Chains A and B, each alone.
Chain A
């Protein structure tokens, strides 16, 4: 089955700096890669996603890049703010009839004021 590895597990940055979280996936048939933000005790919220026919996608301060050859994708957050502090999960979805997301282990991002 699909395996997703996520690094780093914890990340601390100063307010205003950039943060980068990286994920690798194992199955080349994966074709959809969402990123979720989860605050303590809350539901995971989709913040950005990318499909395999696109190499990069931006939405204001966040961006995701995808390298299909290397089978890795990354989340970039610029001009970080304290409210960006949360756990971020990457995920991948295999093409086919089963729509099962495989999640990475999560990154605890702390933005220091």
Chain B
């Protein structure tokens, strides 16, 4: 167990709908990252937050948005869902900070199925 929690574990919805995925980082971690993993694909970085502020953006669609709350949990909002959005969505957390390197620990993921 990495200490990162994600809910829900599974989500089935229809095209055009909107869903919210939730992530709670490890205790003490200030950075949260979101990744998308489609079937037989690698891990695509979506977005990073550090202590409530957006730090970096990757291949995140305009239909997707995220935020990090004062208690440091984060939510990823996916709207106008398409079949191609079906994937595993992982959250990771790290200590964060301005300098140095830190390890990212992944949550168990949310499997999103768009029908």
Binding site for B on A (CB under 8 A): 31-32, 34, 36, 41-46, 49, 51, 89, 93, 95, 97-106
How many angstroms between the C-alpha atoms of A49 and B102 in the bound complex?
10
A35 to chain B, nearest CB (A): 11
What residues of chain B have their CB less than 8 Å away from a CB belonging to chain A? 2, 31, 33, 42-43, 45, 48, 50, 55-56, 58, 88, 90, 94, 96, 98, 101-109, 111
The minimal Cβ–Cβ distance linking B5 to chain A, given in whole angstroms, is: 11
Q: What are the residues of chain B within 8 A of A98 when measuring CB–CB?
A: 48, 55-56
Residue of A nearest to B56 (CB): A98
What residue in chain A is nearest B50 (Cβ atoms)? A99
Asked if B45 contacts A100 (CB within 8 A), the reply is: yes
Please give, as numbers and ranges, the residues of chain A lying within 8 Å of B102 by CB-CB distance: 99
Chain A nearest CB, measured from B26 CB (Å): 12
- Find the A residue at minimum CB distance from B43: A103
Distance in angstroms between the alpha carbons of A100 and B5 in the assembled complex: 20
Known: A32-B101, A97-B98, A99-B94. 20 other contacts (CB 8 A): A31-B101, A36-B106, A42-B108, A42-B109, A43-B2, A43-B107, A43-B108, A49-B103, A89-B43, A98-B55, A98-B56, A99-B48, A99-B50, A99-B56, A101-B104, A102-B45, A103-B43, A103-B45, A104-B42, A105-B42
